[in-house]
Amino acid sequence: MAYLSVANATKRFGETFTALKDVSISVERGEFFTLLGPSGCGKTTLLRSIAGFNQLTSGSIAIEGRDLGSVPPHKRDIGMVFQDYAVFPHLTVFENVAFGLKARKVARDEIARRVPKALEAVRLGALAERLPAAMSGGQQQRIGLARAMVINPQLLLMDEPLSNLDAKLRVELREEIRDIQKQIGIAAIYVTHDQEEALAISDRICVMSNGHVEQLGTPQEIYGNPQTLFVASFVGTINALKPGEALTRLLGQLDLTNADNTHPGATWVVRPENLIVASERAEVGEPQAEITGTVSKYTYLGREAHLQIHSDLGDLVVHVANPDRTAVQREGEVKVVVTRSAVLGFGADGKRIGV
Ligand code: ATP
């Protein structure tokens, strides 16, 4: 049995607007589970429903088989971390973290034992007596994390906890959150619209759009095997190949004509890193085709370079890894190779074409 299970959750606001449409997910004990999607897709609504701040219109939420429908938020044993830190400015770091324990009438000596441990875990041990106002965003969010964890919750919910921090700190803190979560072995649900963040920290990702689940899987499955055009374009980047004679020829060379013919209006895409500059070509045991184009832009980024090429299949972006060790052409005519498995097709309904 899954640890947390959400079954057929639907949430309507008012008469006409449906924020969640028949969402079913299950989260395992110790799992780092991420809700990923663009703004407004329903991530926060789902998280708040799990926390008990929202009542579902229909569907159910259960922890270890126990239905939470009639359990109020403060009895759900759930720790929450918010985007805006929500620390009390007039309380010290220690008092902020002790707050939830006091509210739960935990004994003084137990508070004195548990708070320092939680502060140690988020590396704020030395700052216990400071006031949060004078602390950085990263430190304030660590307080938020310690406060959520000190109550020993069964489940940790995090709603875009890093989005107010700068890029470098975001990367550091996401690693820390993941390490702490794994150390205590708690199940966590993490909300983000940042696809790279989701790929980096999650055991599994649930990609949402428009109130429904697009795809649920490991980071590798989501990135490498997207089941809808939405997932392929939201997680990572894609080149959509321009319909026309050149595409028909390419699909023929890749043995994909049949799939194309049976899906009128299909969209065929390839990821920039799966277009191989010809000088890099390796022998592969599958059909491959060559695309000729001219370089319209070359961007050097150190660990990789981005080529924009103009071709009969449209303007394509090609990512070349390690350009200093690769003979990359910066201008003029280039040839790129694409293999059959790198070209993904999606039907007019947006669903992946099985080939
Ligand atoms: P963001 O990343 O911007 O927070 P999200 O994916 O978390 O987006 P939600 O906050 O869950 O999205 O909102 C989903 C939709 O439901 C939005 O269109 C929002 O305007 C609407 N919504 C959320 N709460 C309410 C409410 N209390 N009343 C009416 N509509 C609401």
14 CA → ligand 1 middle, Å: 13
Mean pLDDT, residues 28-48 taken together: 96
Residue written as token pair 């980096």:
200
User: Which residues form the pocket of ligand 1, taking CB atoms under 6 Å from any ligand atom?
Assistant: 13, 17, 19, 37, 39-45, 193
**Alpha-carbon gap, residue 117 to 202, rounded angstroms:** 25
Q: Which CATH number fits domain 4-234: 2.40.50.140, 1.20.910.10, 3.40.50.300, 3.40.630.30?
A: 3.40.50.300
Mean pLDDT, residues 82-107 taken together: 89
Closest to 296 (Cα-Cα) out of 283, 279, 311, 275: 311
Q: Give pLDDT, residue 212.
A: 97
Q: Give pLDDT, residue 89.
A: 87
**Cβ–Cβ under 8 Å, residues 240 and 317:** no
Indicate the pTM of the whole model.
0.92
Average predicted confidence (pLDDT) for the chain:
93
The segment(s) of the chain belonging to CATH 2.40.50.140 are 239-346
The segment(s) of the chain belonging to CATH 3.40.50.300 are 4-234
Mean pLDDT, residues 230-259 taken together: 97
> From atom 31 of ligand 1, which residue's Cα is the shortest distance away?
13
Which of 6-10, 83-87, 177-181, 247-251 has the weakest average pLDDT?
83-87
Q: Give pLDDT, residue 7.
A: 98
Residue pLDDT, tens place only, 252-304 = 999 999 999 999 999 999 999 999 986 666 667 889 999 999 999 999 999 99
**Cβ–Cβ under 8 Å, residues 300 and 323:** yes
Distance linking the first and last C-alpha atoms of the chain? 34
DSSP output for 78-101: EEEE-TT----TTS-HHHHHHHHH
Q: Give pLDDT, residue 215.
A: 98
Q: Which atom number of ligand 1 is nearest to the Cα of residue 14?
A: 29
**Alpha-carbon gap, residue 251 to 274, rounded angstroms:** 16
Q: Give pLDDT, residue 85.
A: 73
Residue pLDDT, tens place only, 1-37 = 799 999 999 999 998 899 999 999 999 999 999 999 9
195 CA → ligand 1 middle, Å: 19
Residue pLDDT, tens place only, 181-230 = 998 899 999 999 999 999 999 999 999 999 999 999 999 999 999 999 99
Fold of 239-346: OB fold (Dihydrolipoamide Acetyltransferase, E2P) (2.40.50)
Q: Give pLDDT, residue 280.
A: 62
Question: In the predicted model, is pLDDT for residue 338 greater than 90?
Answer: yes
Question: In the predicted model, is pLDDT for residue 313 greater than 90?
Answer: yes
Burial of residue 116 (number of CB atoms within 10 Å: 0-12, 13-18, 19+): middle
Per-residue confidence band for 122, with pLDDT thresholds at 50, 70 and 90: confident
**Cβ–Cβ under 8 Å, residues 290 and 335:** yes
Three-class DSSP category at 111: helix
Tell me the residue type at 79. G
Q: Give pLDDT, residue 281.
A: 62
User: Across the beta sheet with 343-346, what order do the strands follow?
Assistant: 239-240, 267-270, 343-346
- Residue 88 makes CB contacts below 8 A (sequence gap 6+) with 95, 96, 99, 132
58 CA → ligand 1 middle, Å: 17
Q: Give pLDDT, residue 164.
A: 84
Strands (E), 249-287: 267-270, 276-277
Q: Which atom number of ligand 1 is nearest to the Cα of residue 211?
A: 14
**Alpha-carbon gap, residue 87 to 67, rounded angstroms:** 31
Per-residue confidence band for 147, with pLDDT thresholds at 50, 70 and 90: very high
Q: Which atom number of ligand 1 is nearest to the Cα of residue 35?
A: 6
User: Across the beta sheet with 314-321, what order do the strands follow?
Assistant: 276-277, 333-339, 288-300, 304-311, 314-321
> From atom 24 of ligand 1, which residue's Cα is the shortest distance away?
45
